Structure 1
């Protein structure tokens, strides 16, 4: 029997699986995998170690589950939506390079397939790994993880979620999560309930906002600033034109009056001059 440190969750073979996974993600780097990457494998391994230490499982089960934890995420590099087959192939490749005790490789490969396909757990290692995967996916820093998970799916699947579509989808996934070990039910279930509550509240707020924006007066607030600015400038421009027109009219009137006065003055002066110099003309 190979010695395993249940506190750290590592054995010599598990260390090799860790190095194998690190090399795999290093060779086939995919920047779109924001969640299901090497860090995800490390998180699943940590959760497995946490559950193992509380459940008090035997060394065989502990090593099997830790190996599966490190090898499981590899399939996401090949097929994001259906990683089970490729994750199992990654595990087979690892075991072809590393000798193991009889039956261990088959148990690990079967465990990975059962968890990724969502089959009902029939073994202890499947229950432990399933709880660890769910916890690593949805529960640690849930809001940040959810945002990264959304962006990952948008990048890889090429689809854009609306403000309400993503929380609705996430809520459906959270409601489908099932925890199997006693430790997960006692410790992780309350955190899952909190994640469900927060996601539900987020969905309701976004739906309320969409209802307001889609109401009969939804465009009023958006159009007021633009129309108000347009009205302001039109009014100012019209006033400017009117004032200019008034000024022009006033100037024309003043010129006309001045011309009339000047004509009268000239006429008066001319008449007076004629009267003084040649009065016979007036007679």
Structure 2
């Protein structure tokens, strides 16, 4: 009997070496060897026959060979491989049947061992739960799941999975396992729970700190006010840039239009036969010129006197945030004024409010002029096209 066990051991080793993918970092020959050793531990402590011992040893060696075919349902595949191999070695049929029965007992979920042999097999297959190398073996299994794209468990999720498994699903059946492995299993479970609590405590502490930070951040009036001014001023400046860009587009387009009219159309008006083009050309040029003038007015800067007095600073009537109010002042005078401004929190907000207000007034002026500019440009374009059409119709028919 010992000969068939040794031959089977060599068969499984070579089978895994040749056909088992490298992604099986847990379900490989090392796991098979661990189960085989655990089987021997239980056998030595049990009163079972040589024949039953052989069945258990063969089942331990062959129980995971089905992984070379597929993962789900590997037990059935292992049974097929075991039967084919053992029959080729002329092993007795009752031993083969016993091996198949023990292999199917390793189907963990939804089944319970039916006799003592299946209990021994089940305990040996899950013996790593009660071993010192549990953490290492468990991590190998997690990495196997990740490598085979079964499920990408995070360390936290994997700890939760193992805690649930050890508490609610797994149990040892044999007296040997309960006596020798149950205690270590409890220690492994305690370590998982302890680590989980430690990480959970750390996470809760970080979340609490974040909540406090957010709470006090939200309650900070100054921070809220600063955010308001920062956002409002940024939006005003952005809108001002947009207005300038729109005005520049109109200015450039109409400059090109007038240049083309002057270079191509104006020279043809000397010919008396082209008199009918004078009026529509004049309309076109006038509207384009008006559009250009309004575009220039919209973007024309308005700089104030650029001076302030000590009384203006004391009365908080000068806006030191706008360059037009201080560009003519000496540096020392401006530095003094800024120092006075920064001493008074209300003065700072007053200055920012004034800056925001006058920026709004500038924007109002720009966008009102721009609205008129676009209206005149569109209206002028339509009227000019109609004027050219009428002139061509009546002028052309007259010439004909």
TM-score, scaled relative to structure 1: 0.69
Counterpart of 2:138 in structure 1 is 146
Q: Helix, strand or coil: the match of 2:64?
A: helix
Structure-1 separation of matches of 2:205 and 2:78: 46
Structure-1 separation of matches of 2:17 and 2:210: 54
Structure 2 unpaired stretches of 5+: 215-329, 333-400
Q: How does 1:193-204 map to 2 (within 5 A)?
A: 193-204=186-197
Whether contact under 8 Å (2:26, 2:144) holds in the other structure is yes
Whether contact under 8 Å (1:167, 1:199) holds in the other structure is yes
Structure-2 separation of matches of 1:171 and 1:21: 32
Structure-2 separation of matches of 1:140 and 1:75: 27
1:166 equivalent to 2:158? Answer: yes
Structure-2 separation of matches of 1:94 and 1:56: 28
Counterpart of 2:29 in structure 1 is 38
Counterpart of 2:119 in structure 1 is 127
Alignment RMSD, CA only?
Answer: 2.3
Q: Helix, strand or coil: the match of 2:106?
A: helix
Counterpart of 2:227 in structure 1 is none
Q: Helix, strand or coil: the match of 2:107?
A: helix
Structure-2 separation of matches of 1:144 and 1:218: 37
Alpha-carbon distance, 1:220 to partner: 5.9
TM-score, scaled relative to structure 2: 0.50
Deviations 1:110-162 (A, max 9, x none): 11012224522123221111111111366341222222221111222342223
Deviations 1:53-100 (A, max 9, x none): 011311111000000000011123333243211111221221232111
Counterpart of 1:24 in structure 2 is 15
CA distance 1:144–1:117, shift in 2 (3 Å): closer
How many pairs align?
A: 215
Alpha-carbon distance, 1:219 to partner: 10
1:191 equivalent to 2:195? Answer: no
CA distance 1:107–1:23, shift in 2 (3 Å): same
1:65 equivalent to 2:62? Answer: no
Which structure's relative contact order is higher, taking Cα pairs within 8 Å and 6+ residues apart? 1
Q: Helix, strand or coil: the match of 1:31?
A: coil
Structure-2 separation of matches of 1:214 and 1:77: 46
* Mean Cα deviation higher: 156-165 or 189-198: 156-165
Work out which of the residue numbers 199, 210, 215 in structure 2 matches 1:217. Answer: 210
Whether contact under 8 Å (1:61, 1:124) holds in the other structure is no
Q: Name the larger-Rg structure.
A: 2
Structure-1 separation of matches of 2:19 and 2:207: 45
Whether contact under 8 Å (2:39, 2:120) holds in the other structure is yes
Alpha-carbon distance, 1:106 to partner: 1.1
CA distance 1:207–1:82, shift in 2 (3 Å): farther
CA distance 1:88–1:208, shift in 2 (3 Å): same
Counterpart of 1:108 in structure 2 is 99
